[in-house]
Structure 1
Amino acid sequence: MSTDENRLEATLQTKGLNAPRLTPELIDASIVGEAYHVFSGTTLTVCALTLRNGFNVTGESAAASPANFDPQIGRQIARKNAREKIWSFEGYLLRERLAAKADEERGQDDAVQVA
């Protein structure tokens, strides 16, 4: 979790914004595996994060100057970039769940009015 994520999380908690939402912990918990590949003769590093449902998310990094290429830094940046993509996917999934719940509640309200 980044310093920015920690700060934002603290602000949300301080303001009592506790409606269903994503947290850095939920994002991290969705990751069950990771793999890296550096393409031969390049500085291009790809990280593939495997999510709990088997879906894979990728992130990339590449040094502009081969003289500055450090494999560990390449892995860190590629992983960070892949992890950032998870927020969108998990956000969509949460919104779908909230919409389904609202639809279900509306359906129950309609059933009560009919009876």
Structure 2
Amino acid sequence: MSKDEAAIESEIQAKGLNAPRLTPQLIDDQIVSEAYHVFPGTTLTIAALTLRNGFIVTGESAAASPENFDEAIGRKIARDNARGKIWALEGYALRNRLSGIS
């Protein structure tokens, strides 16, 4: 969970907003494994996050200057990008449940 997510989560809880919603923990709990690949000769890093239902979400990162490329930073950015997609997918699924659509 990022510092921003923690701050928002604290604010939501402080305001007593208790309706069904997504939480950073719920998003993290969907991830069962992760894999990374840096394409040889590039700065392009791909993260593949496998979710509990087997669906795979990908994220990417690439340094504009090869001199600034750091594999650990590239992995973090690619993972964050993939994780951000989970919010949209889980939000869609929650909205379906709330509206009575299976």
Q: TM-score, normalised by structure 2?
A: 0.97
Residue 21 (structure 1) aligns with? 21
Whole-Å separation in 1 of the counterparts to 2:74 and 2:2: 17
Considering fraction of residues, name the structure with more helix. 1
Question: Residue 99 of structure 2 aligns to a residue in which SS?
Answer: helix
Percent of residue pairs identical: 71
Whole-Å separation in 2 of the counterparts to 1:32 and 1:98: 25
User: Is 1:66–2:44 an aligned residue pair?
Assistant: no
| Amino acid of the structure 2 residue aligned with 1:23 | T
1:14-93 map, 5 Å:
14-93=14-93
| Amino acid of the structure 2 residue aligned with 1:54 | G
| Amino acid of the structure 1 residue aligned with 2:79 | R
Q: Residue 25 of structure 1: CA displacement? A: 0.2
Whole-Å separation in 2 of the counterparts to 1:54 and 1:93: 15
1:31-54 deviations in Å (ceiling 9; x for gaps) = 001000001110000000000000
Question: Residue 100 of structure 1 aligns to a residue in which SS?
Answer: coil
Question: Residue 36 of structure 1 aligns to a residue in which SS?
Answer: strand
Which runs of 5 or more residues in structure 1 are unaligned?
Answer: 102-115
| Amino acid of the structure 2 residue aligned with 1:42 | T
Whole-Å separation in 2 of the counterparts to 1:36 and 1:8: 29
Question: Residue 33 of structure 1 aligns to a residue in which SS?
Answer: strand
Whole-Å separation in 1 of the counterparts to 2:26 and 2:59: 19
Q: Residue 100 of structure 1: CA displacement? A: 1.0
Residue 4 (structure 1) aligns with? 4
1:20-78 deviations in Å (ceiling 9; x for gaps) = 00000000000001000001110000000000000010000000000111111100000
| Amino acid of the structure 1 residue aligned with 2:57 | V
How many equivalent pairs are there? Answer: 101
